[in-house]
Amino acid sequence: STHVPYTSLPDSILASKCKILYIARNPSDTLLSLYHFFKSQRKDCQTPPNLEDCVDDFCEGKHIFGPYLEQVVEYWNRSLQDPVKGLFLKYEDLKDQPEVELKKLSEFVGVPFSMEEENGGIVKDIVELCSIGSMKEMEGNKSGVFNKFFEKKSYFRKGEGGEWKQYLSPSDR
């Protein structure tokens, strides 16, 4: 998994037969998630990140992975150009209709669910196992660090959409 733009992927991935799944999220919720993530990583810092500065940097494309909207459009265009290699999903759709989106994903990777599996409840079981609540409770995600720096638990906060409305005004969007 990565947050880098499509054009920054190594040639070994671009030239391979591997499939690329991109999940886009509402930009305002992405911004807020990024803000909370940085805030959780800098809790020992005397000056926590400032939301206003985070908004400005995000809107100007000055964050670690570059301009967010350009990245989303880039992956979306690539998925349209080569739907065998790229699948573009929206986070909000995953939350609203997880079974439908999981079926799209299983077909994309070439392992669609059989009717027996669907009727047997395996799709619902997978959705539950992959829910934010379940992922937060997995022992491997509760403690330790990822990439030597980031607490694993900081990757799992709420996973809900629309929270930006509590922090940002419509004019900030």
Catalytic-role residue among 2, 3, 48, 146: 3
| 63 a catalytic residue | no
Pairing label, strands 150-151, 145-146: antiparallel
Buried b (16+ CB within 10 A) or exposed e, 38-70: bbbeeeeeeeebebeebbebbbeeebeeebbee
- Residue 56 Cα distances to 59, 61, 68, 154, angstroms: 5, 9, 13, 23
Residues with catalytic function: 3
